[in-house]
Structures are given as C-alpha cells and as structure tokens.
C-alpha cells in the first residue's frame, strides 16, 4: 500500500476522573477519613456493609459535589438521587456500590483549555456529567493471599466524565492538568495521584478522519500519573492503527497499563451498564437541592484560574509564562497578590516568587502554605535589597535563613551578620589595601584600559568585606580611587 491510499485515522479520547473528596467523614457514615491509618481501624457497621445498617448522606460531600459541578459550568440537578450499582468484589462488602446512575448531581458542563483546536478556537471539552459515589476498600495482594483494608470503603468520590472531545494524547494531558488546576481552586480534594485521591481512566478509539461514527473503544485503567495517561493513549492509538491497517477487527475491552513494559494488557472484556443491575437505592430517599443552596455555594466560588490568568496579565503586566505559573496553584497566586499589595512592583515580586521561592518549594517538595515564609517577610527582604543593605548574593542567603527559621528579613540578616553598614571609612580602607596589594597587576591592567581587571578588584574587596558590600557601588569607588 502506498502512502497516498492510506486512510488517515483520528483518535477520539474521553477521560473519566475520580476525585476523592476531603470531607471530615465518609459518604454515608460518621467514620473519619484519614490516609495511612491502621488497616480497618476506620470502619463501622455501615461501611462494613453489615445487615441492617442504614446509610445517611454526608451534606458536605453533596456541597463539594455541587462546587465541582459549578466550577465546571454544569447544570445542577434539582434533587439528589442515589442508585445501587451491583457487583461482587472482595473489597466491596455490601455487594454493591452506592452511586448515581440516571440522575447525576451535575451535568452538561464545559472545561475550557489553554490550547487551540484545529480551527484556531480555544479548545473546549464538554463535561458530560459529575456524579457522587462511594469508594470501595482496598485489596492488598500478597503472595498466596489477598488482604482487604476497608478504611477507604465509603470515601466520597465525584466521578467527572468528560465528553469524547479530545483528539490527541497531548490534548488529554492538557485536559487533565487544566482540570486538576481548576479543582485545586475549590479546596475539595487533596488531588494526590500518589495517595489515590485523584484517579483517571481513559477511553480511546480511532476512526477514519471525517467519519462521524466512533470506532471500537478501549478503556484503560491503572493510570497513576498524567504522564502514564499520555503514554498509554499513544500506545493504544498506535496499536489500533496497526490492527486496522492490517485488516483485523478490534474488540471492545478493558486494559491495564503496564508502565514498566510500556504496554497495555487485557483485563477483561467490557461489562455493559446493564451488568450492574442499577436500581434506586431503597435506603436513601431522594432529597431536594434548593436553588438558594446552589446559589449560596456559587457565591463562594473563588475566581477561577483562566480568569485570574487574564487579570494577572492585564493588571500586573507579567509575562504569560510567569502568570501561568503563578495561577497554577491558588495558594501561590494568593501569596503573590498579598505581597504585591504590600509593594506595588509586581514584576520584581513575581521574579522572587517564580525564582527563589519556587526553588525552595521544589527542594522541599512542599506547597507554599507549608512554608513559614509570609508575603510580609518576603517584601521586607526585597526592601532591604533595594535599599542597599543586602546585595543579590546575601539577599538569597538571608532568604534561605528566613525559610529555615520563619523569622523576618531584618532579624535574619542581623543574625547571619549580612547587613551592609554604610561605613565609608572602613570601605575606603579596604579599597586602598586592595589597590596597594595588586598595584603591579590588576590595577596596572585597569589603568591600561582593561575593564575586566575592575571586576577582579571588586571581587577582592568583597572578599575582605565578607560580602557585606554592594558590588555595584564598589566599582565606581575603586575606579575613582585608582584615577585619583
């Protein structure tokens, strides 16, 4: 077959994201939610599925679900209805999961992504639905046996189902990052893929470009990072293309991603929805979601990142790269704005936050709210630098001292003995000393017009002054004294 006659295929990708909510207690009982507690210590008759135990809905979980729905521009259902999804698995003691089937809490939303589609318009992915459900327990597979930990059983989840609107693994990657960034603004989840509080399944098929009908779909599970989602999608798209080009047919199946072997393997042929025998949960009556409640939740939504990004570009004239980075995490953007309210020099403040503050966060693998650093102390430091009491090098040293102790800039600078005291006599004495010492070398070179020699002399003075001077001030002083 020649290239000219080859069919061009187009991937169709849809993602399902499970978000564990960080409510104080579980979805249908009063057990505490806590990661890493001793196995089966956070359980009760309800989440153990003991006969006769009755569930009660956690209002905070419903509120968090509504928050997520609103942030994704969804409609919110006027009532909450739960259904039983029946299946058998060792980590599901009731033999069913309480979920939402035909009436999701939120539906018909959109997520706008910071990329463009093929026609140059901002790329939008529909949000088909976002519904509430409970998590199952955890099976721990050991050699020859399987243990079950039911601490996770009954943890509230919101499943966010995106429309089949993504056309490449890269778009899927951007979708996930955008979704996570938006969710991080809501304060409803830890969003940690490591701890399993954010999980993703991917659906992918391919079809000849221009064809409306979807191709045969693979569902990929066990995707523990956004990078893995992208890699697994790339693998599946290539596999589907190869199979179709060889004239073979594909079958719909559920696959697991093996990150070590870098391939998917079959888990099972896909169950149809009817296999789950959904029916309304008889132990939980429907209840109304008053419009006023939704409106009051809407009123508490923060400014979302897309909007904030535009405002950062407009109000603070930041580079797109800096603005995008800062709004990436709400706490960091809040920190920046608080600092700018104390010192109206957004670019200078942004340089510190994107630079030194971020380096510190990366080194500690921490978020800004885990540092003792305050916007006030950062501004105090920048002002010391501006006034010449610190130079670029000592300011960074003082900064690291501040992060260690949580103390202010001036106190730290004094403690570390980094403050530059304007003692002209002492400075002149050092300059004279250096000029005498290097009379025949650097000083002679400088006199002969070699600019580089001045840098050397500044360095020598800085060393003798133990870094407590401003090199920009030293240069002209040395030059003046040599030429005097």
Q: What mask, x for binding Zn ion by CB under 5 A, covers residues 36 to 75?
A: --------x-xx----------------------------
Residue 90 or 122 with smaller CB distance to Zn ion: 90
Q: What are phi and psi of 382, to 5 degrees?
A: -60, -35
Determine if 150 is a binding residue for Zn ion (CB under 5 A): no
Give the C-alpha separation, 85 to 176, whole Å. Answer: 27
The span of 27-35, 202-210, 231-239, 281-289 binding Zn ion (CB under 5 A) equals 27-35
Q: Which of residues 465-484 bind Zn ion (CB under 5 A)?
A: none
The minimum distance between CB 281 and Zn ion, in angstroms, equals 16
The span of 21-29, 113-121, 166-174, 305-313 binding Zn ion (CB under 5 A) equals 21-29
Residue 29 or 309 with smaller CB distance to Zn ion: 29
Q: Is 464 helix (H, G, I), strand (E, B) or coil?
A: helix
Residue 42 or 402 with smaller CB distance to Zn ion: 42
For CA atoms 399, 400, 404, 410, the dihedral sign is negative
The span of 29-37, 307-315, 385-393, 419-427 binding Zn ion (CB under 5 A) equals 29-37
CA distances from 351 to 36, 246, 357, 364, 465 (A): 38, 54, 9, 19, 28
Determine if 17 is a binding residue for Zn ion (CB under 5 A): no
Determine if 313 is a binding residue for Zn ion (CB under 5 A): no
Note whether 41 and 166 are within 8 A (CB).
Answer: no
Determine if 244 is a binding residue for Zn ion (CB under 5 A): no
62 Cα distance to chain centroid? 23
Determine if 98 is a binding residue for Zn ion (CB under 5 A): no
End-to-end CA distance of the chain: 85
Residue 23 or 377 with smaller CB distance to Zn ion: 23
Determine if 231 is a binding residue for Zn ion (CB under 5 A): no
Among 12, 13, 17, 31, binds Zn ion (CB under 5 A): 31
User: Any idea of the CA torsion for 42, 69, 178, 204, to the nearest 10 degrees?
Assistant: 90
Cα angle, residue 351 at apex, residues 327 and 473 outer, rounded to 5°: 170
The minimum distance between CB 95 and Zn ion, in angstroms, equals 17
Residue 29 or 66 with smaller CB distance to Zn ion: 29
365 Cα distance to chain centroid? 13
Determine if 453 is a binding residue for Zn ion (CB under 5 A): no
Determine if 153 is a binding residue for Zn ion (CB under 5 A): no
Give the C-alpha separation, 276 to 102, whole Å. Answer: 13
Note whether 316 and 347 are within 8 A (CB).
Answer: yes
Give the C-alpha separation, 202 to 223, whole Å. Answer: 8
Q: What mask, x for binding Zn ion by CB under 5 A, covers residues 392 to 431?
A: ----------------------------------------
Residue 44 or 342 with smaller CB distance to Zn ion: 44
Give the C-alpha separation, 445 to 422, whole Å. Answer: 29
Contacts of 250 (CB under 8 A, 6+ apart): 215, 216, 218, 240, 243, 244
Residue 56 or 480 with smaller CB distance to Zn ion: 56
Residue 47 or 66 with smaller CB distance to Zn ion: 47
Residue 109 or 156 with smaller CB distance to Zn ion: 156
Among 12, 13, 29, 430, binds Zn ion (CB under 5 A): 29
The span of 31-39, 176-184, 299-307, 468-476 binding Zn ion (CB under 5 A) equals 31-39
| The two three-digit tokens of residue 241, written as one number | 């293309």
127 bridge partner residues: 109, 162
Residues near Zn ion, by CB under 5 A: 29, 31, 44, 46-47
């Amino acid at each position: 077959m020649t290239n000219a006659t080859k069919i061009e295929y187009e991937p169709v990708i849809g993602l399902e994201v499970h978000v564990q909510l960080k409510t104080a207690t579980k979805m249908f009982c009063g057990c505490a939610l806590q990661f890493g507690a001793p196995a089966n210590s956070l359980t009760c008759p309800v989440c153990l599925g003991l006969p006769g135990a009755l569930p009660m809905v956690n209002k905070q979980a419903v509120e968090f679900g509504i928050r997520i729905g609103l942030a994704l521009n969804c409609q919110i259902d006027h009532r909450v209805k739960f259904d039983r999804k029946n299946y058998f698995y060792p980590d599901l003691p009731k033999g069913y999961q309480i979920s939402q089937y035909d009436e999701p809490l939120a539906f018909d939303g959109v997520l706008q992504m910071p990329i463009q589609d093929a026609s140059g318009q901002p790329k939008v992915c529909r949000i088909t639905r976002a519904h509430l459900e409970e998590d199952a327990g955890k099976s721990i597979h050991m050699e020859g046996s399987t243990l079950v930990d039911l601490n996770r059983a009954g943890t509230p989840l919101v499943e966010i189902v995106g429309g089949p609107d993504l056309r490449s693994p890269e778009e899927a990657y951007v979708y996930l990052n955008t979704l996570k960034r938006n969710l991080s603004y809501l304060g409803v989840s830890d969003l940690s893929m490591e701890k399993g509080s954010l999980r993703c399944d991917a659906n992918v098929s391919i079809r000849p470009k221009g064809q409306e009908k979807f191709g045969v779909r693979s569902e990929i599970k066990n995707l523990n990072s956004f990078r893995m989602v992208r890699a697994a999608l790339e693998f599946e798209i290539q596999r589907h293309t190869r199979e179709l080009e060889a004239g073979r047919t594909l079958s719909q199946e559920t696959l697991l991603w093996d990150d070590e072997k870098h391939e998917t393997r079959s888990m099972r042929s896909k169950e149809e929805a009817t296999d789950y025998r959904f029916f309304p949960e008889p132990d939980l009556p429907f209840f109304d979601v008053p419009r006023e409640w939704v409106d009051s939740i809407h009123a508490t939504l923060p400014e979302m990142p897309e909007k904030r990004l535009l405002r950062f570009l407009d109000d603070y004239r930041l580079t797109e790269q800096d603005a995008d980075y800062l709004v990436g995490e709400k706490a960091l953007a809040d920190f920046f704005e608080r600092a700018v309210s104390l010192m109206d020099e957004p670019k200078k403040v942004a340089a510190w936050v994107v630079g030194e503050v971020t380096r510190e966060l990366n080194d500690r693998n921490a978020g800004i709210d885990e540092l003792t650093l305050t916007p006030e102390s950062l501004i105090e430091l920048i002002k010391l630098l501006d006034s010449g009491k610190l130079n670029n090098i000592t300011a960074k040293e003082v900064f690291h001292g501040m992060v260690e102790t949580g103390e202010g800039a001036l106190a730290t600078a004094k403690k570390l003995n980094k403050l530059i005291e304007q003692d002209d006599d002492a400075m002149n004495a050092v300059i004279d000393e250096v000029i005498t010492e290097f009379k025949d070398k650097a000083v002679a070179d400088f006199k002969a017009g070699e600019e580089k020699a001045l840098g050397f002399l500044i360095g020598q003075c800085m060393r003798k002054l133990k870094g407590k001077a401003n090199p920009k001030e030293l240069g002209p002083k040395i030059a003046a004294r040599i030429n005097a």
